A and B are shown apart, each in its own frame.
Chain A
Amino acid sequence: MATPLVASSTSTIPSSTATTGQIKVEFSGGLELLFANQRSVTLPLPLPTTTSTSTLATPPTVGDLVTYLVNTAMVDPRKELFVVDGAVRPGILVLINEADWELEGEEEYQLCDGDTVLFVSTLHGG
């Protein structure tokens, strides 16, 4: 919601500190089954993207991370269980450093070194 104070329109300076480092990505609530039973993976920043969607000029966002996960990291062919119409499937919660991603700007959140992003499914049995 609240965009970071960085004026994104004039971010010509690729702040190298913000875009390098590593993040932790966690899966739970059954989502780990879609990612070869891994509950946690560490990814470098910038993301090892195969597609050229994100440029080096801006730090990768959670949206970029989702794209990376679904295109590259996800081994299970049932992509629709993770992403529907280009967005994280309704019913999957995303926590950025333990906070609801709704409080952090959702897909727009810019990843920093040391961040933890957790994807939890609420869709599995009761």
Chain B
Amino acid sequence: MSPPTSTAAPSSAPTTPQPTSTRLCAHCKLSRPKIQRAKTRDRLCVPCFLHIFELEIHQTITSTNLFQRGDHIAIGASGGKDSTVLAAVLKTLNDRYDYGIKFTLLSIDEGIKGYRDDSLETVKRNAVQYEMPLVIVSYRELYGWTMDEVVQQIGKKGNCTVCGVFRRQALDRGAERLGVSHVVTGHNADDMAETVLMNLLRGDLPRLHRCTAILTASSSSPVRRSKPLKYAYEKEIVLYAHHRKLDYFSTECLYSPEAFRGSARALIKSLERVRPSAILDVVRSGESFVAMVPPEISGVAPSQPNTTATPVVLPPPPPPQQADDDPNAHCGGESGGEMAAFEKQLRENEEATHRETEVKLPQIRKKQKMKQTLMNCRKCGYMSSQELCKACVILEDLNKHRAKLGVQVELDEVEEEAKEGVRRKMEALELRKSVETDTGTDAKE
């Protein structure tokens, strides 16, 4: 992931002292530098910075075979800096390198007045600027609830969980509506580092070792998700947006985000101040865990038809074929088999989650868990590992109490009861969460 040309100035000019190398762009050696890169400490002028930033994303995309010519891909667009930069860069790269991809912007309207309604205006402008169609899917149309109404009922505590469950399904529904099977999101290196730290601090090994995957597919979702900006620093994303004068929206969600993520975030930013490479180092560490996680945890998918490896418990050093798959995959793997490797990895991940659940919840019917089968949610038909999908579980409870709250008189007790009910359901969902394969990064938006 180091930039293509980071070599020091050639020794052919011994007469010129340091000033030339420090005062001029490290890449073109012509212009005055304006940016100091976090990854490399290189000092670059604006045009070189923009170009190298784009080139690195291009390299991430090509080295992982993320896209195939003719694909129709949805860009999860919130109007914020990350997804705006993602759309702008993908538009640029698609034109420059002729990817032959059709991109559509897909936005979720959670129904938060003063926040999402404004940011959606930005997305609408982006759609015109980048000549991409835009599809907006709202919580109201899908679930009959806006987040404003949800918060009014259950309070701010835990609303992020509801929103996360809803958003995940809403993105899938939107993708389905568009007929696409791949959604790219704007998660950046800082987000990845946060997630690695959070999983580490929670001791969540299965998620720790899958949270850095550039592409995540899941049996509980027909749609693949990927993160082309996973190696891009938030700082550089903001600088890219600034220097290209991109139009983005920057107001925090009105409902306070998870405190835990906030702390991880502050820690990452403080580390960056002291040691700028720390962010990428944490991401790389997360990737390295993939290689270190013993098979008992990482799992060797027994359900997979083609694997020769049966779920034999192997000693810590993983079997050779597994070692080939991922250890040094970083961002630079070149082989075309990389996708297959990812998919294999993902299947293995799922396997690991089941086992992890067993450990946490010895009480819960083991056999049923082991033979997790996918079905369609009894209510909404969405893919689910349970009779009711997570969103419907939440909705059932929300709706149960809506009637009582129809009249907006002060009904503290009922309200409390409603909050408690939803909270209990959410706790139950937390437990179920590890059974299903969400990456745990969704909450970031």
Contacts and interface: CB of A to CB of B under 8 A. Distances in A.
B253 A122 contact: no
Interface string A87-100: 00111010100111
A108 to B, nearest CB: 15
A90 B273 contact: yes
Interface string A109-124: 0000000001011111
Nearest to B257: A125
B238 A126 contact: no
B239 A93 contact: yes
A22 B381 CA distance: 64
Contacts of B33: 99, 103
Contacts of B272: 90
A105 interface: no
Majority SS at the chain B contact face:
helix
B234 interface: yes
A100 B82 contact: no
Nearest to A91: B269
B235 A30 contact: no
Given A93-B239, A120-B238, A125 B34 contact: no
A99 B272 CA distance: 19
Contact of B186 (A33, A89, A126): A126
B234 A90 contact: no
A122 B188 CA distance: 12
A125 B36 contact: no
A89 B242 CA distance: 19
Interface residues of A, number: 23
A119 to B, nearest CB: 11
Given A99-B33, A103-B36, A126 B269 contact: no
A103 B37 CA distance: 11
Contacts, number: 76
B22 interface: yes
Contact of A29 (B32, B81, B186): B81
A31 to B, nearest CB: 9
Contact of B43 (A30, A103, A122, A126): A103
A94 to B, nearest CB: 11
Nearest to A121: B250
Given A102-B36, A125-B78, A93 B238 contact: yes
A89 B191 CA distance: 18
A2 interface: yes
B434 to A, nearest CB: 24
Interface string A38-78: 00000000000000000000000000000000000000000
B430 interface: no
B64 interface: no
Contact of A126 (B80, B243, B270): B80
B252 A124 contact: yes
Nearest to B444: A126
Contacts of B46: 98
A28 B43 contact: no
A2 B22 contact: yes
A102 B273 CA distance: 11
A125 B253 contact: yes
A30 B273 contact: no
B250 A28 contact: yes
Nearest to A1: B22
Contacts of A30: 250-252
Given A93-B235, A99-B34, A126 B83 contact: yes
Nearest to B86: A126
Interface of A: 2, 28-30, 33, 89-91, 93, 95, 98-100, 102-103, 118, 120-126
Given A28-B250, A118-B242, A121-B250, 11 more contacts: A29-B81, A29-B238, A91-B234, A95-B242, A99-B32, A102-B36, A103-B35, A122-B237, A125-B80, A126-B82, A126-B187
18 contacts: A28-B242, A29-B81, A29-B238, A91-B269, A98-B243, A99-B32, A99-B34, A100-B34, A121-B250, A124-B250, A124-B252, A125-B253, A125-B445, A126-B78, A126-B186, A126-B187, A126-B444, A126-B445
Top 10 nearest A-B pairs (CB, nearest first) are A126-B82, A90-B269, A91-B269, A30-B250, A124-B250, A99-B34, A90-B273, A122-B238, A102-B36, A125-B80
Interface of B: 22, 32-36, 43, 46, 78, 80-83, 186-188, 190-191, 234-235, 237-239, 242-243, 250-253, 265-266, 269-270, 272-273, 444-445
